[in-house]
Amino acid sequence: MIKFTAFIVLWIVFLTGKIDFGLHARAHSNVSCLESERKTLLEFKKDLIDKSNRLASWTGEDCCSWEGVGCSRNTGHVVKLDLRNNATFDFDRFWVGDTQNYVSIYGETCLGGQISPSLVNLQHLHYLDLSSNYFARIRIPAFIGSLKYLRYLNLSTAGFNGTIPPQLGNLSALEYLDLALNKLRFLSSLTLRFCRIYSFPHITHLNFTSLTSLDLNGNEFNSMIPLWLFNLTSLVHLNLMNNNFFGPIVANNLQHWTSLSYLDLRYNQFNTSLPDSLFTLKNLVYMALSGNQIQGPLPFGLGNLTSLSVLHMGDNMFEGKIFSIRQLRERTDPNVNGFNGTIPSSLWSLSELKSLDLSSNPLSGELRDIHFAKLAKLKVLRLSSTLLALNVSSKWVPPFQLQDIGMSSIEIGPKFPLWLQTQKRVEYLYMSNASISDTIPDWFERVCHGIKYLDFSDNHMMGKPPVCKGNSDTYRLHLRNNSLQGIIPQPDIKNDMTLDILQILDLSDNHFIGRIPDSLCSLQSLAILDLSNNQLSGRIPSCIGKLKTLGVLNLANNSLYGHIPISLGHLNFLQSLHLDRNKFTGMVPFSLRHMKNLQYLDLGKNGLEGILPAWIGDELSSLKILVLESNNFHGDISMSLCKLSSLQVLKLENNNLTGHIPRCFNNFTAMISTELDSTRIYVPVYVLNGPFSVVYYSEDLSVFIKGGMLNYTSSNVAYVRFMGLSGNKLSGEIPVELMSLVGLQGLDLSRNHLSGRIPENIGNLSQLESLHLSKNDLSGPIPQSLSNLDSLGWLNLSFNKLTGRIPSGRHLQTLDDPTIYMGNSGLCGEPLDKSCPDGKSNAGESDGDHEDGKESYFDWFYAGFVTWFCCWTRGIPQCPMFPKVMALCILRISGELVQ
């Protein structure tokens, strides 16, 4: 059995490009080698057979000048030993020509003999190449594994035989390894997990046909499966998961794998239907095809694989996208792949099945008691995110005892599933979004005592939450978005070992009342605490600061009051803090500056006061979303906020801020980028004396944009670029520097005291969807460049002092609501009823207007002439004489020119 550790790279591949070992080449040597290493090389030479006298130069004192020897420029140590045979073996001459004669001629060029153990004295060796020689079927020396600095090792086509020594796994610095496995005729097992292999070698003649186990999990081939792989007819175990293989699963060659019992093709890019030949492999016990893009119905031929114990076909409908269950049911997205149609009846006859995963496929139909009648050995059943409905009798007693139940986003309700009380060994229970509208029964507390992961989120469950007494294993509890009520259950500190391992507690969007219990502070492994959207009251327990592993704290939308505890500053790993929509008062604690990993900070809609903390910009450099809206902050906006280059969303609306908008806001480079920048929160979670893992926390965000409040969920928060400064007392001009934030989708500067003109280059904000500048003191014309904003879907410039003709053209013409411009007495043109002085309503029809919106001098002249002409023809005594009108016109023109 041969196994290599994950850092070894097999086959001919350089991971770091050209390797420079810092050598003295023979022609440039100017120092003598170390005497001890010279003696080592001579001892090594003594055990070699050198028929062609290739090592004739190995004489004299300076071994650094010997053929194939390289020394360090700095230390003089031997770091390279390149003894490859440059007369490479010609396979064409071998197979076509005089075989015996050719082998004899080639053999004369080869080094042979033994590899002296003295080689281990060259402890600074980085590079060792003995390839294309012939060592007469000796074993690869185990002592090579002692050359700890070795980065390059090539023993290919060198006549070595036997098992590969596991000591090679100790070469932790190795970057290049070539053992030419095709020569190892008796190789039976090969494991190369996560070795970053990029390509398969070209193999003309397959010699290692004794291979029974091949594991290439986690490499980066990005190709089709090579055809020679199907000629490994002795394979029993084959793991090709997570390798970016694409195209069809080659049908014509599968029948060669008649001995195969284990086949893992998960998480590749196969995108066609399954070939019928796959279902002739009757020895298969394990078959996993999850995480691809396979399409079409589940084949009836599955029933032929009567030995199957594990069948995993989940997650085949996504092309890097996440679909809601509504999208699946309505099939609104044409890019949904995956297995579709109903489950074939033959599948239910696979009586050896222990694990069945069909989740995340658009499978449809109704599952009844009879379907599971033969699956007595089943322990894992995953049907989540399908279009299936489970419709079983209330008296149904399943033939199996499940450990893992995945039934999220399928129809189970409205009643709570009574058959769960027959399951005594459940460890993982996923029934979120399962249409259950019922009270959690008392008997469920007996079932849940052994559950490690419980998810009843997004149902309509009522009553009190389950208390799984005596459960020492629960590490994730999701009860989000139900109608649960009462107080938050307190863990039993004396008897409940859950304190050590509970990682996630999500009770958000329910009807819990009362205070946050101090006992939650004893949950020493807690990574996510979400109690948002309840009716909790009281103060935040100061002991929350003891939860050192906390990555997310969400207490939003409750009735909590008092000061924000200083102790929260001890939460050094916190990435997301939501305290918005409560009744907190006082200042933002200075201690929060220690939250160096914070990405999402929402303190909005409270009664906080003071100036905007400058330390937010100085210390919280990872912030992507900052929400401080609807508080009592006053004073100028701190220039230090400009240091938040990762900021995508800034919401400071409805405070008492004064002064100018900082020009350095153009340092928000994340608002310049139009590329997706992930705002996902990945939280490290820990179990006491257990494994480390990472979980994803689903963020959401509410933004007043396009005239209403829009809610962004986890799937699109990452796309939002927004700046809201409305409802303050800001003055001065709109900084032209803001026009460089070309990724902005929403800009709200309304309800301030801003003056001056709208920047001419506002058309640079090409991604802008919503622009709100109403109720300011802005003056001058509306820039024509505004018509360049093809994404603009909502605009409000009302109640300013804007003048001139409203621009038209392109997308701007679709915004035809006149209230957009109301309260600007100097504006004219469509969509207003007020025509411009030249009688034309659109800017595109006029060629006499000055660019600043003032009327044409010639228009003024003609208006005066017409007045005089009318008076004169009607004999009005007070009618001004034409010369006087002319003089007034000239004075008007000259005056404007002087200005």
Kindly report the CATH number assigned to the domain that includes residue 524. Answer: 3.80.10.10
Residue 197 belongs to some domain of the structure: no
What does DSSP say about strands 708-712 and 701-705: parallel, antiparallel, or unpaired?
A: antiparallel
Q: What is the pLDDT of residue 31?
A: 56
Whether residues 526 and 587 fall in one domain:
no
User: Do 623 and 656 fall into the same domain?
Assistant: yes
* 501 and 557 both lie in a single domain: no
Q: Is residue 681 part of a domain?
A: yes
Q: How far apart are CA 57 and CA 42, in angstroms?
A: 11
Q: Which residues contact 415 (CB under 8 A, 6 or more apart)?
A: 394, 436, 438
Using the 3D structure, point to which of 491, 507, 537 is the last residue of a domain: 537
Same domain, 533 and 619: no
Same domain, 532 and 662: no
Residues 587 and 669 grouped into a single domain:
yes
Distance separating alpha carbons of residues 391 and 411, to the nearest angstrom: 8
On whether both 580 and 469 belong to a single domain, the answer is: no
Is 780 within a domain? no
Mean pLDDT of 536-559: 96
Among candidate residues 600, 709, 593, 712, the one with its CA nearest the CA of residue 653: 709
C-alpha to C-alpha distance for 159 and 184, rounded to whole angstroms: 9
Q: Are residues 482 and 566 in the same domain?
A: no
Q: What average pLDDT does range 89-94 have in this prediction?
A: 42
This prediction's pTM = 0.76
- For the chain, percent of residues with pLDDT exceeding 90: 60
Using pLDDT thresholds of 50, 70 and 90, give the confidence band for residue 104: low
Residues 872 and 734 both lie in one domain:
no
Element housing 832 (H / E): none
At 809, is the pLDDT very low, low, confident or very high (cuts 50, 70, 90)? confident
Residue with more model confidence, 6 or 582: 582
**What DSSP letter does each residue of 634-652 carry, written as one string?**
EEEPPGGGGG-TT--EEE-
Containing structural domain, residue 871: 857-898
Last residue of a domain, one of 537, 568, 598: 537
456 and 549 housed in the same domain: no
What's the pLDDT at 673?
Answer: 80
The number of beta carbons lying within 10 Å of the beta carbon of residue 46 is 11
* Helix ranges (DSSP H) in 727-875: 857-873
Quick one: pLDDT at residue 689?
53
Q: What span, in angstroms and rounded, lies between the C-alpha atoms of 641 and 673?
A: 18
Residue 183's pLDDT band, with cuts at 50, 70 and 90, is low
Q: Is residue 745 part of a domain?
A: no
Query: What average pLDDT does range 341-355 have in this prediction?
Result: 96
| Whole-number pLDDT of residue 171 | 86
Q: What is the pLDDT of residues 673-694, one digit of tens each?
A: 866 555 567 887 765 555 567 8
Q: What is the number of domains present in the chain? A: 3
Q: Establish if 465 belongs to a structural domain.
A: yes
User: Considering 537, 566, 599, which residue would you say is the last residue of a domain?
Assistant: 537
How many residues are recorded in the chain?
Answer: 899
Whether 157 is covered by a domain: the verdict is no
In a domain, 825, yes or no: no
Which residues, in sequence order, are CB contacts of 843 under 8 Å at separation 6+? Answer: 784, 805, 806, 807, 808, 809, 829, 849
Q: Are residue 586 and residue 455 in the same domain, yes or no?
A: no
Whether the predicted pLDDT of 873 surpasses 50: no
Beta strand 69-72 with 78-82 is antiparallel
**Same domain (yes/no): 446, 562:** no
Return the number of other C-beta atoms located less than 10 Å from residue 603's C-beta: 24
Percent of the chain with pLDDT over 70: 82
Beta bridge partners of 633: 610
What mean pLDDT is predicted for residues 524-541?
95
Q: Is the pLDDT of residue 831 over 70?
A: yes
User: How much is the average pLDDT of 859-870?
Assistant: 43
Dump pLDDT digits (tens) for 273-331: 888 889 999 999 999 999 999 989 999 999 999 999 999 999 987 543 333 444 444 44
pLDDT of 93 strictly over 60: no
pLDDT (0 to 100) of residue 472 = 61
Q: Work out the average pLDDT over 179-187.
A: 67
pLDDT at 100 over 90: no
| Residue linked to tokens 């010609």 | 90
The pLDDT of residue 839: 56
Is position 752 within any domain?
no
The residue among 188 and 586 whose pLDDT is bigger is 586
